[in-house]
């Protein structure tokens, strides 16, 4: 581990962190592993540093931080390829709280409308682990139809995003994620952060990958060719799998006027702020 460098890979859920991690791992010196979800541990650790008497001195705080970060590095390194000299810790989450200070951060951003579609399919494929189905019984009824026919939403696209609470909560969460990453940039102006758009990565996978390799300080020529699952999207949709479609603009197939209204109320402004739309007239 002594000769390894580390970085963090972040992004909102269903924004392409898995794909981006695989693209980066295609370099002969890089290994991206996850999902560790250190955020709750780091949040509590920081609270303890601020409040417990044992950490009264700055020296004690710094010693604790260094030991904690050493533990994080060891955990991540143990899961990475042994030959890797650059190791990425991948978790779909905000940049803060930061588990390892002073390392590069890459965060992927995706159109919230496509995120919503992808998350909806993810929910219906993982229904037993989400409390939403207890809170919204109607989603359970829709889930049964999906279980009986994996192509149910292709035949009834208006049904995918018909549950208002799910749409609103998902997009409020996406909006807050973007806001927290904006906050991270302001709080840590010296932290090396590189944002990449899912859509740009889709459009020019080779070029965007090379930029990220340069950001991480590795030679782009030492990466594998972009083939198979490293390519953007899939030739055939896989509605019952974790990696379903990987398309850009798929939201147009599922949004109703009602869905648009809910989305605009919760997260319409970020779409404009991040250049996905120029106005609310979409």
Q: How close are the terminal C-alpha atoms of the chain, in Å?
A: 50
The values of phi and psi at residue 52, to 5°, are -80, 135
Q: Which residues pair with 87 in a beta bridge?
A: 6, 31
Per the CB < 8 A criterion, the answer to whether 86 and 145 are in contact is: no
Q: Which residues of 7-20 are buried (b: 16+ CB within 10 A; e: fewer)?
A: bbbbbbbbbbbbbb
The pLDDT of residue 133 is 78
Determine the average pLDDT of the residues in 155-165: 95
pTM for the full predicted model: 0.92
The pLDDT of residue 229 is 87
Q: Identify whether 35 is preceded by a cis peptide bond (ω within 30 of 0).
A: yes
Distance CA(208)–CA(188), nearest Å, equals 24
pLDDT at 1 over 70: no
Q: How many residues does the chain have?
A: 282
The values of phi and psi at residue 253, to 5°, are -80, -15
The domain made up of 5-111+190-230 has a fold known as Rossmann fold (3.40.50)
Distance CA(170)–CA(151), nearest Å, equals 23
244: which residues sit within 8 A by CB, 6+ positions away? Answer: 118, 121, 234, 237, 238
The pLDDT of residue 274 is 96
Predicted confidence band of residue 126 (pLDDT cuts 50, 70, 90): confident
Domain ranges of the chain: 5-111+190-230, 113-171+235-273
pLDDT digits (tens, 9 = 90+) for 202-224: 999 999 999 999 999 999 999 99
The pLDDT of residue 243 is 60
Distance CA(247)–CA(237), nearest Å, equals 9
pLDDT digits (tens, 9 = 90+) for 54-68: 999 999 999 999 999
Distance CA(20)–CA(229), nearest Å, equals 11
The pLDDT of residue 238 is 65
Locate all alpha helices (DSSP H) within 36-163, ordered by sequence.
Answer: 39-51, 58-79, 112-125, 132-135, 137-148, 152-155
Average predicted confidence (pLDDT) for the chain: 93
Reading across the β-sheet that carries 30-34, which strands appear in turn?
A: 30-34, 86-90, 5-11, 105-109, 193-197
Per the CB < 8 A criterion, the answer to whether 14 and 117 are in contact is: no
Nearest-Å Rg of the Cα atoms of the chain is 20
H or E element, residue 257: helix 257-273
The pLDDT of residue 18 is 94
């Amino acid at each position: 581990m002594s000769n390894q460098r580390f970085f963090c890979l972040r992004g909102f859920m269903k924004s392409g962190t898995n794909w981006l991690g695989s693209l980066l791992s295609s370099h002969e010196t890089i290994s991206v592993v996850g999902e560790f979800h250190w955020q709750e541990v780091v949040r509590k650790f920081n609270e303890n540093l601020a409040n417990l008497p044992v950490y009264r001195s700055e020296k004690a705080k710094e010693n604790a931080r260094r030991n904690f970060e050493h533990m994080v590095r060891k955990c991540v390194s143990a899961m990475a390829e042994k030959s890797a000299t650059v190791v990425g810790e991948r978790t779909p989450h905000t940049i803060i709280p930061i588990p390892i200070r002073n390392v590069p951060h890459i965060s992927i951003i995706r159109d919230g409308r496509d995120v919503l579609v992808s998350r909806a399919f993810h929910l219906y494929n993982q229904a037993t682990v989400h409390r939403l189905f207890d809170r919204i019984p109607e989603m359970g009824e829709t889930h049964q139809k999906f279980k009986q026919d994996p192509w149910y939403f292709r035949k009834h696209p208006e049904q995918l995003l018909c549950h208002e609470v799910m749409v609103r909560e998902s997009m409020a969460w996406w909006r807050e994620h973007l806001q927290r990453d904006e906050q991270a940039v302001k709080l840590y102006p010296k932290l090396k952060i590189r944002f990449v758009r899912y859509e740009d990565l889709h459009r020019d996978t080779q070029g965007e990958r090379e930029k990220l390799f340069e950001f991480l300080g590795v030679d782009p020529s030492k990466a594998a060719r972009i083939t198979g699952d490293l390519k953007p999207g899939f030739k055939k949709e896989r509605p019952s799998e974790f990696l379903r479609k990987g398309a850009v603009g798929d939201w147009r197939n599922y949004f109703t006027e009602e869905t648009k209204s809910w989305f605009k109320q919760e997260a319409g402004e970020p779409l404009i702020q991040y250049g996905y739309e120029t106005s609310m007239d979409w």
